[in-house]
């Protein structure tokens, strides 16, 4: 069974802040998401100050962009965060950003290296997925 990363922390002091922020964030995001689904895209909830000029003409729609992040979350629950992030970065840079393979691999490698560096500096593990529940993998895949 998957457990929340914040709940699995050993110290109760380490749990309080992420659990509170996570709870408030989930409630607030759910409320806004329900409003966004129920209202047309011309509603003020979609208001953006960059509606004129080059910034106002976004090449990709809102729901397609949110689908990318939903895919990252789904993949994280299946294979764990670091593997999901590696797949996400490669696919995103190649197909959404339209970059060449050399640049895709360099940027993805730098992104994964940065995440591993920060996890090591902050002494934190990445969220595991179902894969980690069945196969013992070394860090950073745990």
Contacts of residue 103, Cβ cutoff 8 Å, sequence gap at least 6: 93
Low-confidence ranges of the chain (pLDDT < 50): 1-3
The pLDDT assigned to 126 comes to 82
The pLDDT assigned to 1 comes to 41
- Tens of pLDDT, residue by residue over 57-94, are 666 677 788 889 999 999 999 998 999 999 999 999 99
Q: What is the pTM of this model?
A: 0.63
The pLDDT assigned to 27 comes to 95
The pLDDT assigned to 117 comes to 92
Contacts of residue 84, Cβ cutoff 8 Å, sequence gap at least 6: 72, 75, 76, 78, 129
């Amino acid at each position: 069974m998957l457990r929340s990363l914040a709940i699995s922390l050993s110290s109760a002091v380490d749990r309080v802040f992420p659990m509170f922020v996570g709870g408030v964030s989930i409630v607030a995001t759910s409320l806004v998401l329900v409003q966004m689904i129920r209202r047309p895209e011309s509603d003020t909830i979609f208001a953006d100050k960059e509606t004129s000029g080059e910034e106002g003409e976004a090449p990709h729609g809102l729901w397609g962009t949110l689908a990318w992040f939903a895919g990252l979350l789904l993949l994280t629950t299946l294979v764990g965060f670091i593997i999901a992030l590696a797949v996400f970065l490669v696919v995103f840079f190649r197909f959404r950003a339209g970059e060449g393979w050399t640049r895709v691999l360099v940027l993805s490698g730098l992104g994964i290296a940065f995440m591993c560096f920060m996890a090591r500096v902050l002494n934190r593990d990445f969220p595991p997925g179902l894969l980690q529940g069945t196969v013992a993998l070394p860090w950073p895949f745990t």
